[in-house]
Chains A and B, each alone.
Chain A
């Protein structure tokens, strides 16, 4: 007979004890197990080209242009529709991608190693905010930035990381939450800390001072520099928590812009999906909710493992970005305690007298209280080629949690 409480305790304990360290940067095809030349990884649960959301199509097109596999968008689109390429969730390949989250074989990815359980996870290089490929943009300037990231930034950061012996994400994030970050949408402090740690090593390993200058300038100016390594770090925590027999803890949540999907620790590899919700957002000048694509991205892995929207009470400044009051930020965190299993041992919130962040979503509690996880997120334009149009808060769709609960009862004969 299963003991759900014990199983959940174990799953969340693993989630919290995972200790991710960023150790290097390398091309996806060299490090991601199972990566092949015709494989394109994307955010969220599985999706076909026909059902694929605009921004993800844009990211796919951008990836082929970037890899030189297609001459122009039209050709890329035809190739993608032809069935020549396989699409698969990043999550099924130990990876995570923000927004559309496409990882193609030549793209450089961060390598994050969990020092406790030995898992490795991967995520691409962050391009910054605005008109970027992960939001579906693929104009020439976007492709050029990706090339520079891949050819100059990536190798330099890889050498710097190796020279530093790696950057411990758990302690860095713990500190960043005390500096006003939520660990998902607000990573200003964490990105600065990351830059500060790596700067001496970059200056040492860079081929010349111009490169060092460019790399450090880009890192320092991009408040989301550390988002991708953080997501990969969270992915290692998710991997440690997954596969505990009898556990109702959610180990994965992700959206592909068409569907939302989740996996449960005690329910194996099955995705539970529901239509991706619309984001309640603030829009950039010139855009409205009519331009917005439904919710998209793997970045919800941060909330899945106890930070991001769940740690909003640590990041009152974020409310200006997503609209709302500081009290809303606190209420969001307090609400999330209602649907989680534990308070994080290593991530704490000063304003709540250093209470640990709510960690380990329990499908039972979500369904019982009809209180879905809340996520802070960026909003992409629904058409390929445009990019980000706003940011806001969104609740994950309840029906996926309900389906998972029923499947759990079936599997365990409850």
Chain B
């Protein structure tokens, strides 16, 4: 059963063409069968009678009254339609205004509401205010201005993260978004490589090399040089990395930075490990320990990073599935690794590899002096002990031949409630103990059982690298079998064993504070839309966009309140009041 609803407006005048347009828009709304928008003259009202659009209100309307009437399938559709009248009347935006330069972002917004980027290059002391305004309007920000205080950067990025918006900068020189260059940027072919860079010319160099080598890019996300500092915490870098991880068109990610804060770099790498696609890393000044870790490919320089990315895009590598670390097995407070090695070189390599996972590893034979154990008999935090060192072998057989000392130390370490992982080597072959695993296997089982029997119910992971061959007198497979019977995780590659242990302790030392967790994800759909921008500051940035056939509005910006600080601060307080 159809429903007819009407609204009468007195004392208004609309051009008849506008009324006809409104009538058509109303009739097009869902559920609406017919609509009439007329002035209430007798002739017009007769017309409404003929098309069955009459109510008592319509009948009573006077000549000067505007009559809006709809007939719809149900009550709801009719009321919804009437409620949209004002919106439809105002939903006409002028195309005439193109030459006009608005005085504010707000003014620009009324001219091009679907703009998605704001480029800011005004003097540093005003830049944060403009950026804040841009975030209020839900735009991504390209912040070229420098001399923005770091506190402002932190608060801007926090605000942006909450809204899933990128603040690229301050002091961000370049970005490439969907083939369009912002700021200083090169014309780079489009393709499957996405770059996140905390280094402007670094990004330009990598992007240019990618293009020269026949590759192409989805995004070049700049972050500003301070983003990877400990204070800022890599907010933009991590959001960019996350967006590229989710972007189906980005097949390879490249991360470029000048030397980042080690803590932030660790977090970036941890997140990058989960990207689900190859990630090429070039942190200038941080020498890579290995060429590849899982999906991470460490480049030796900018050029190498570009070349590696192009190669990986051409022939995608097979990415192994990450082992499940089953962290839930560990009790709260368990977080340290203890390495009990018989082989000096293996112990040394372990220390090296572990630097990728934890900040500091103590040792009796350390890779640098600061990490030397005060007392080789007492482990501290993460510790690697080489029991083959002279201090342990005086008047005693080498631990490759005699397991007693290691078993005793194993039990000691197992008793430490903060220990989660014990890393050991078993080196067989001529000269070694005739069947080391026959002693070590049961010892491992005992250590694990002890930990488990405790009140807290700890879980102890014992990781063993077994070095030897099948033809050795002790027979490799025989050794492995016994070790596994004892409950050990056994590898034949020292690196594999160390990295497995490293991942566990890295995860256990990572409270669930992944800085990202508070950031809303960047909306990919919006990020992938063609760039439409407002430019505040250097006019050449707007001209560059125009040259790239990208819509841009240059804002005729002036310092708030003409630079009068008292007035400007009142205005800022009023804005905060409105925002809260």
Contacts and interface: CB of A to CB of B under 8 A. Distances in A.
Contacts of B96: 330, 351-353
Interface in A51-108: none
A405 B569 CA distance: 11
Interface string A377-404: 0000000000000000000000000100
B65 to A, nearest CB: 10
Given A115-B11, A172-B13, A343-B90, A334 B97 contact: yes
Contact of A368 (B13, B95, B100, B571): B571
Contact of B107 (A21, A170, A331, A338): A338
A39 interface: no
Interface in B331-378: none
Interface stretch (B200-208, B322-330, B436-444, B556-564): B556-564
B320 to A, nearest CB: 55
Interface string A347-385: 010111111100000001101111100000000000000
A178 B573 CA distance: 41
Interface in B88-110: 89-90, 92-97, 99-100, 102-104, 106-107, 110
Interface string A113-157: 001000000000000000000000000000000000000000000
B567 to A, nearest CB: 6
B394 interface: no
A338 B100 contact: no
B578 A5 contact: yes
Given A345-B86, A352-B97, A354-B18, A370 B558 contact: yes
A353 B12 contact: no
A371 B561 CA distance: 9
Contacts of B15: 178, 350, 354
Contact of A355 (B12, B14, B94, B574): B94
A353 B103 contact: no
Contacts of A364: 571, 574
Nearest to B86: A345
Nearest to A343: B90
A3 B92 contact: no
Contact of B106 (A2, A338, A350): A338
A172 B578 CA distance: 37
Nearest to B21: A354
A346 B12 contact: yes
Q: Mostly helix, strand, loop or mixed at chain B's interface?
A: helix
Contacts of A348: 14, 18
Interface string B534-548: 000000000000000
Interface residues of A, number: 47
B162 interface: no
Contacts of B561: 367-368, 370, 402
A285 interface: no
Most chain A beta-carbon contacts within 10 A, residue among B13, B14, B558: B13
Contacts of B567: 367, 402, 405-406
Nearest to B39: A171
Interface size classification for chain B: 35 or more
B570 interface: yes
B577 interface: yes
Contacts of A248: 574
A19 B100 contact: no
B64 interface: yes
Given A172-B13, A175-B13, A4 B107 contact: no
A364 B560 CA distance: 10
Interface string A1-22: 1111100000000000001010
A236 B468 CA distance: 99
B83 to A, nearest CB: 15
A337 B93 CA distance: 13
Contact of A369 (B64, B90, B558, B566): B558
Given A3-B578, A353-B96, A371 B12 contact: no
A289 interface: no
B10 interface: yes
B103 A414 contact: no
Contact of A171 (B64, B107, B562): B64
Contact of B92 (A115, A355, A367, A406): A355
B97 A19 contact: no
A291 interface: no
A172 B11 CA distance: 8
Contacts of A367: 561, 567, 571
A330 B14 contact: no
Contacts of A170: 11-13
B18 to A, nearest CB: 6
A398 B573 CA distance: 20
B14 A337 contact: no
B103 A335 contact: yes
Contacts of A168: 10-11, 64
Interface string A258-286: 00000000000000000000000000000
Contacts of B94: 351-353, 355
Contacts of B558: 369-370
A174 interface: yes
A110 to B, nearest CB: 17
Interface in B64-99: 64, 86, 89-90, 92-97, 99
B307 to A, nearest CB: 50
A369 B103 contact: yes
Given A19-B11, A115-B11, A172-B13, A414 B574 contact: yes
Nearest to B570: A409
User: 6 shortest A-B CB distances, which residue pairs?
Assistant: A174-B13, A171-B13, A353-B94, A19-B11, A352-B94, A370-B562
Interface of B: 10-15, 18, 64, 86, 89-90, 92-97, 99-100, 102-104, 106-107, 110, 558, 560-562, 564, 566-568, 570-571, 573-574, 577-578
6 contacts: A2-B577, A248-B574, A338-B107, A354-B15, A405-B570, A409-B570
Given A348-B14, A354-B18, 7 more contacts: A2-B577, A19-B10, A172-B13, A368-B561, A369-B104, A409-B573, A414-B574
